[in-house]
Amino acid sequence: MAHDGSMHTDGAKGRPMRERRRLEFAVAGVRGVVRFNAPLKEYTSFHIGGPADVLVEPADVEDVVQLTRQTHEQKLPIFVLGGTNLLVRDKGIRGVVVSLGKLRAIKEEPGSVLYAEGGVGMPTLIGHAIRRSLAGLEWAAGIPGTVAGCVVMNAGTRLGEMKDSVKAVRIVSPKGALMDCSAEAIEFGYRRATLPKGVVVGVWLQLRSGVRADIEKVVKDYLHYRRDTQPLTLPSAGCVFKNPLNDSAGRVVEATGFKGTSVGDAQVSMKHANFIVNQGQASASDVLSLIKKIRTGIVRKAGIKLELELKIVGEV
């Protein structure tokens, strides 16, 4: 409180000064990039999302340790994103948002094992595996997320899923402790994994020695297939709904007549009915209204309740 009894605010967002101080303490001394009021639309594949109170790109793992410890001390929430399976609501995310964009090292270990830092993108990792003639990640060709996000989501395609390749993960706990966790201790399900709480900063992948030309061919063929069947030229967050048992969500959305339906600039893709695309200026509320329309319509028309694969985060 100020001497006159009023509350100081930081102007831009009208947030109380006290909160701003806690955010500043949380990021104090962090060597990476720190941005207050960072528009998250710049960090999501949907190009949608309100601001993060503060967005941090830690310089390295020690920076993640320091940031998580200080954020915990300030009793602030922390959220990690890669940004490709997310709908961030229009009012953004309170507390600290972390992007691991600077944790991009890949190391080779004996026995066809790769260690990738959490921020390594799947396309980069697959490119590395091809150059080293390591097979086992071809199924993931075309998935744009980070390797850490792919473990947390147990990302998958009809060719395979993350759990097939994960050997162990390195995590920074909410109190800032580094720990390694073997794949046996992780419970993987359909687009989910039960991991200890914290920031995944590295992943060990068990691959196998293969023939470079063969690996490359599978990857190229799958990328072509995706280009032919998915709307890759417009911003999206991949598949919106999980597939119902023995069926495909895209088929259900199309069969119930929702292909092409739109709210504002959010549209059910004409190319793949399980994708919602941002045709320009879509807001999170446009996407949410469209999702609601599709889900209630499908319950009414087909009696099927589609579950979300997309993660919805942030303040309403």
Ligand X SMILES: Cc1cc2nc3c(=O)[nH]c(=O)nc-3n(C[C@H](O)[C@H](O)[C@H](O)COP(=O)(O)OP(=O)(O)OC[C@H]3O[C@@H](n4cnc5c(N)ncnc54)[C@H](O)[C@@H]3O)c2cc1C
Told to check if 82 binds ligand X by CB under 6 A, we report yes
Q: Is 202 in the site for ligand X (CB under 6 A)?
A: no
Task: State the pairing for strand pair 86-88/311-313.
Answer: parallel
Binding ligand X (rule: CB under 6 A), the pick from 61, 129, 153, 277 is: 153
Interface with ligand X, residue 155, by CB under 6 A = yes
Quick one: tokens of 167? Answer: 């050997």
CA distance 39 to 18: 22
68, 71, 84, 269: which one contacts ligand X (CB under 6 A)? 84
φ, ψ for residue 182, nearest 5 deg: -80, 160
For residue 269, state whether it binds ligand X (rule: CB under 6 A).
no
Is position 273 an interface residue for ligand X (rule: CB under 6 A)?
no
Of the two residues 134 and 199, which places its CB atom closer to ligand X in the complex?
199
Does 200 contact ligand X by CB under 6 A? yes
Q: How far is the CB of 119 from ligand X (least distance, A)?
A: 7
Helix axes of 17-27 and 61-73: crossing angle, nearest 10 degrees? 150
What is the total count of residues that contact ligand X (CB under 6 A)?
Answer: 30
Q: Which of the ranges 33-41, 68-76, 177-185, 235-243 carries the binding residues for ligand X, by CB under 6 A? A: 235-243
81 binds ligand X (CB under 6 A): yes
Give the whole-angstrom CA distance, residue 15 versus residue 29: 22
> In whole angstroms, how close is the CB of 8 to ligand X at the nearest point?
32
Question: In 10 A of CB 190, how many CB atoms?
Answer: 12
Closest listed residue to residue 83, CA positions, set 143, 129, 124: 143
Token representation of residue 141: 């060709």
86 in contact with ligand X (CB under 6 A):
yes
